Structure 1
Amino acid sequence: MNRQFKNTLRDRLGNYLESKKSATLMEVVLIFGVVFLFIQMVAPFFQGSQLAQQLIVWFANVIMIALVCFGQWLRRSNFRDLGLVLPVWSGKTYLKIILWSFLIGIITILSFVLGSVGMSMLMGATAQPDVSNYDYLKDNPGIFVLSLLGVYLVSSFGEELVYRGFLIHRVSLMLKGAKFEKTYAVLISAVIFGLAHYTWGITGMVQTSFMGLILGTFHVRFKNKLIVLILAHAYMDTLLLGSIYLS
């Protein structure tokens, strides 16, 4: 009886999320709101430690991933809806995935640079993102390797699942039937992705918005094949952390 009640409650909540655009909006606001509040409440206790600050952000990303998974569970939906699916093994298929991921990675890096150039033109000086929170990587090979592995999980994989897979899908549901719904979904997800990097300063937010715009566009172009974007994002993260470590 208890199990039946749980299943009934799950179905009721899932159906509510599926049928009401307002419920989908609340789901999105709840996920990002909870994570933002978590960071704001916990981070002040670790002001003196850059590594601790970064771990808090990573844990916040894990919370987002968990909440996205919970939403999918309530809906009885699999992750294919969010584009998370491995293609059937084929050497040709995986070679194509790798080549496309390199191309998208290069375009994404160029968009990141373009964001910096644009901000430099507006501000009249060389504009760079504030990545000083990563200074703990310098001359610390062990922490660098561990951080890289952590970033691959919570950033390369996690951010693509949340900001491209989940967010574009949910915004598209809310805009269903509207003209250019996918275009608006990509734009909105890119802006939110940029705002999520507020600790990088205004230049960093603009750069990551450009990055989100490119990745979101290809997400729609490839009909939700997230694996390509995850690899492209991983290349970008490797270059970013590597440049900080070597600086």
Structure 2
Amino acid sequence: MAGSRSSTWRIVAAGEVLLAGVAVALDLWMPTLVLLGLASVSLLVRRQRPRTLGLIAPAGRRWWPLEILGFAVAWTLLTIGVTIPVLEHLSGTRQDVSQFAVVQGNVGLLALLLAFTWTLAAIGEEVAYRGFLVTRLRELIGGDRAGAAATVVAAAVAALLFGWAHTEQGLIGVVTTCIDALFFTWLRFRYRSLWAAVLAHGFNNTIGLVAYFFVGPVYGLW
């Protein structure tokens, strides 16, 4: 009986993943909002709480927000100092962040984008991709006993979809966003909390926006 119930929910998970994939691939409305809607319906149907998507505080880590900030700073430096320059030299193209040029010196726009980045981007995208999508992919691939292999595959598929959702930044932007997604997923499972990924995402975007405010679009360092 338990096995039959598990199989049923895996079929449901397959449908959820398919709908999420279509929403992202076709850029339907705002894919993040579509995925959040799917996540809400999914939790209601399954009679589950948001904690099943990872929305719980890390246990036994008093200073974990500061640890996440350290990770975010280090990740930003690695990205602009290594990842982006290497990708730009290999591809002969440049990440398109020209849309952020208007942020330079504009306090009002900076404040608006910071509010946006901590709500729809940090919380919304993490719940949608690292919470809902990764959880359902793990369930689809590994069932009730999803192990490391299922987690790796789920993380990779969700990262590809997350990257595809950022095609406005060009090839380099898509690739770096995919890599960012893997980093956020790693933090989620390292701290056993989606809030770790939310904070890292928010800190990472905040660092970028503040840099755009002071110096304009930032590309690779070499």
Aligned in 2, Cα 1:22/1:133: closer, same or farther, shift over 3 Å? Answer: farther
Q: Structure 1 length as normaliser, TM-score? A: 0.73
Q: Name the residue aligned to 2:152.
A: 183
Q: Distance in 2 between matches of 1:154 and 1:18?
A: 33
Q: Distance in 1 between matches of 2:148 and 2:32?
A: 32
Q: Name the residue aligned to 2:220.
A: none
Q: Distance in 1 between matches of 2:160 and 2:28?
A: 21
* CA deviation after TM superposition for structure 1 residue 243, in Å: 2.1
Aligned in 2, Cα 1:31/1:142: closer, same or farther, shift over 3 Å? Answer: same
* CA deviation after TM superposition for structure 1 residue 111, in Å: 5.0
Name stretches of at least 5 consecutive residues in structure 1 with no aligned partner. Answer: 1-14, 40-56
Q: 2:54 aligns with which of 69, 83, 88?
A: 83
Q: Name the residue aligned to 2:186.
A: 217
Q: How does 1:1-247 map to 2 (within 5 A)?
A: 19-34=8-23, 36-39=26-29, 57=30, 60-86=31-57, 93=61, 95-113=62-80, 114-123=82-91, 125=92, 127-176=93-142, 180-223=149-192, 225-246=193-214, 247=216
Q: Is this contact kept in 1: 2:187–2:196, CA < 8 A?
A: no
Kindly report the root-mean-square deviation, in angstroms, between the aligned alpha carbons of the 2 structures: 2.7
Q: Structure 2 length as normaliser, TM-score? A: 0.80
* CA deviation after TM superposition for structure 1 residue 191, in Å: 1.7
Larger radius of gyration: 1
Percent of matched pairs sharing the same residue: 24
Aligned in 2, Cα 1:179/1:68: closer, same or farther, shift over 3 Å? Answer: closer
Q: Is this contact kept in 2: 1:82–1:166, CA < 8 A?
A: yes
Q: Secondary structure of 2:105's partner?
A: coil
Aligned length: 207
Q: Runs of 4 or more off by more than 4 Å in structure 1?
A: 15-18
Q: Distance in 1 between matches of 2:190 and 2:134?
A: 13
* CA deviation after TM superposition for structure 1 residue 20, in Å: 4.2
